[in-house]
């Protein structure tokens, strides 16, 4: 029972990162109707930015989160303005697919050239601090990271629901032409949306550095899981992405506990395929 409870806690904590990645991916897809296949590489860039701020400037990884998010927002807005916007004019999914995949390869290989293939990590005074809570033990960095993730999630919900810009983002996601007719600058919303999605990925990367190694392809697995979260939670649904991320984290830890850690990825992808098949069947019957 203790092992089961510990696995539940670990799955919940890791699921928070999948949720944040999925929400960032879902914001981009919900508004712009494109799948950002370089989303995992954006997480990797956030990890390296946090590593640089800690190594060269002595900034604590958690204090670096706002700075990393701001830098990643500017990076995402720049990519949107210079690369994504011209491709949107072609109205070709293939162009956007190859563009984001190629951008991901550029970022990962650029990190390989600059930082090398060595595995790097950040170790602070509290990295190995553990807090016993009854039958389970929780790592302090994981607890702090999960708390930050919850705050970011609530802030994102509030931003999209109550602010004027958030309402404009929702309007563009529902009907871009109608939003433009009533005076909303759709190109500006696209810029903000892509920047926000990239900032969320960078935030997840910054929070991961306390207990996850940093290397050029670190974001690949998280990028694939973000796609799973988006599909399982519903395309364009932020609450669905949050719940799907938690579910994915729990599924991984439960499969590792009851079956084998080496089969956890296989079980995750098999579950993903089953959900796709069942959902398609339900949609077909409704039609």
DSSP 8-state secondary structure symbol assigned to residue 135: T
Angle at 269 between CA 28 and CA 246, to 5 degrees: 60
CATH number (domain holding residue 159): 1.10.3470
The predicted-structure confidence for 79-110, as pLDDT tens digits, reads as follows: 998 888 887 766 667 788 888 889 999 999 99
As beta bridge partners, residue 132 has: 137
Q: What pLDDT sits at residue 89? A: 67
Q: pTM here?
A: 0.90
With a cut of 70, list the residues of the chain below it in pLDDT.
89-92, 236
Q: What pLDDT sits at residue 97? A: 82
Q: What pLDDT sits at residue 85? A: 81
Return d(Cα 31, Cα 187) in angstroms, integer: 11
Determine the 3-state secondary structure of 49 from DSSP. Answer: helix
Domain count of the fold of the chain:
1
Residue 69 in tokens: 């998010």
Q: How many CA atoms lie within 13 A of 50 on its CB side?
A: 34
Q: What pLDDT sits at residue 220? A: 85
The predicted-structure confidence for 255-279, as pLDDT tens digits, reads as follows: 888 887 778 788 888 888 888 888 7
Contact of 31 with 189, CB cutoff 8 Å: yes
Element (H, E) at 207: helix 186-208
Q: What pLDDT sits at residue 10? A: 85
Element (H, E) at 216: none
Contact of 19 with 229, CB cutoff 8 Å: yes
Return d(Cα 269, Cα 287) in angstroms, integer: 27
- 138 burial via Cβ count (<10 Å: 0-12, 13-18, 19+): middle
Alpha-carbon separation of residue 271 from 133, 226, 228, 229, 232 (angstroms): 32, 15, 10, 12, 10
Determine the 3-state secondary structure of 139 from DSSP. Answer: strand
Q: What pLDDT sits at residue 90? A: 65
Element (H, E) at 167: helix 164-174
The domain in which residue 45 lies consists of 2-286
């Amino acid at each position: 029972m203790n092992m089961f409870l510990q696995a539940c806690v670990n799955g919940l904590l890791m699921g928070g990162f999948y949720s944040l990645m999925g929400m960032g991916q879902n914001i981009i897809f919900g508004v712009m109707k494109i799948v950002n296949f370089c989303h995992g590489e954006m997480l990797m860039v956030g990890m390296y930015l946090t590593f640089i701020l800690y190594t060269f400037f002595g900034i604590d990884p958690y204090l670096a989160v706002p700075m990393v998010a701001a830098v990643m927002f500017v990076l995402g807005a720049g990519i949107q303005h210079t690369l994504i916007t011209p491709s949107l004019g072609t109205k070709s999914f293939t162009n956007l697919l190859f563009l984001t995949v190629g951008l991901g390869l550029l970022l990962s290989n650029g990190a390989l050239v600059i930082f090398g293939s060595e595995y790097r990590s950040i170790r602070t005074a509290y990295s190995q601090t553990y807090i016993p809570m009854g039958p389970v033990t929780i790592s302090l960095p994981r607890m702090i990271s999960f708390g930050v993730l919850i705050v970011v999630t609530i802030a994102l919900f509030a931003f999209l629901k109550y602010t004027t810009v958030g309402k404009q983002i929702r309007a563009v996601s529902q009907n871009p032409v109608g939003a433009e007719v009533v005076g909303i600058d759709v190109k500006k919303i696209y810029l903000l949306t892509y920047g926000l999605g990239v900032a969320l990925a960078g935030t997840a990367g910054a929070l991961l550095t306390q207990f996850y190694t940093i290397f050029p392809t670190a974001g690949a697995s998280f990028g694939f899981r973000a796609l799973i979260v988006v599909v399982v939670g519903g395309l364009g649904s932020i609450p669905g992405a949050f719940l799907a991320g938690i579910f994915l984290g729990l599924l991984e830890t439960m499969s590792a506990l009851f079956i084998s850690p080496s089969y956890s990825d296989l079980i995750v992808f098999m579950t993903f395929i089953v959900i796709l098949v069942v959902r398609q069947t339900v949609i077909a019957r409704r039609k």
